[in-house]
């Protein structure tokens, strides 16, 4: 099931990219960040999950009615909101779409879903990726949550 999920994520991403503006290698690197984050989350390793984000005080994370600035603040908020494996559940990203802004910037749209014992929260996300040297990092994350679980 997990392998099928990852295959579908890759297929959606590749189908939605403009190959004239971004190399296949760049698309694969962006997808690799997302797959690694999903795997790290599912291993209950928030510190590893955060490696997909730009380690800067300028990182922006918006969810609900608030925005958090800074990698450290974002990490602290994740650890506070998800203190253990049970609260983290199992994360899946789907409906991935990559829109290219330039050789160094891309927007990634998608859907997230957590499977937990007591509920199945889900929502949408928009990620602004920036390429630093040869490495893609999330510099801005806007995540929404569906009220109808």
pLDDT at residue 2 in the model: 56
Please indicate, yes or no, if residue 80 is contained in any of the structural domains.
Answer: yes
The boundaries of the domain holding residue 116 are 2-143
SS3 content of the chain, % helix, strand, coil (to 5): 40, 35, 30
pLDDT at residue 115 in the model: 97
Q: Quote the mean pLDDT of the chain.
A: 88
Q: What CATH number has the domain bearing residue 42?
A: 3.10.450.50
Mean pLDDT, residues 22-48 taken together: 94
Mean pLDDT, residues 107-115 taken together: 98
**Which band of pLDDT confidence, cut at 50, 70 and 90, is reported for residue 23?**
confident
Q: Answer whether residue 19 shows pLDDT above 50.
A: no
Q: Answer whether residue 55 shows pLDDT above 60.
A: yes
pTM: 0.84
DSSP letter string over 24-84?
Answer: HHHHHHHHHHHHHHHHHHHTT-HHHHGGGB--STT-EEEETTEEEESHHHHHHHHHHH--S
Q: Answer whether residue 17 shows pLDDT above 80.
A: no
Q: Answer whether residue 22 shows pLDDT above 80.
A: no
Mean pLDDT, residues 74-86 taken together: 97
**Which is higher by pLDDT, 1 or 58?**
58
CA pseudo-torsion sign 105, 131, 45, 68: negative
Please indicate, yes or no, if residue 149 is contained in any of the structural domains.
Answer: no
Please indicate, yes or no, if residue 20 is contained in any of the structural domains.
Answer: yes
Give the number of domains in the chain. Answer: 1
Please indicate, yes or no, if residue 111 is contained in any of the structural domains.
Answer: yes
Please indicate, yes or no, if residue 59 is contained in any of the structural domains.
Answer: yes
Q: Answer whether residue 18 shows pLDDT above 70.
A: no
Of all residues in the chain, what percent carry a pLDDT higher than 90? 76
């Amino acid at each position: 099931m997990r392998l099928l999920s990852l295959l579908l994520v890759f297929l959606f991403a590749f189908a939605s990219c403009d190959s004239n503006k971004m190399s296949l290698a760049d698309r694969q690197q962006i997808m690799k960040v997302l797959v690694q984050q999903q795997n790290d989350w599912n291993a209950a390793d928030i510190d590893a999950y955060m490696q997909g984000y730009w380690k800067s005080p300028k990182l922006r994370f918006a969810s609900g009615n608030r925005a958090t600035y800074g990698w450290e603040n974002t990490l602290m908020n994740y650890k506070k909101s998800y203190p253990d494996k049970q609260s983290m559940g199992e994360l899946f990203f789907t409906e991935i779409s990559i829109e290219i802004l330039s050789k160094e910037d891309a927007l990634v749209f998608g859907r997230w879903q957590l499977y937990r014992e007591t509920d199945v929260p889900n929502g949408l996300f928009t990620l602004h990726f920036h390429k630093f040297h040869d490495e893609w990092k999330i510099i801005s994350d806007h995540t929404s949550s569906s009220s109808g679980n």
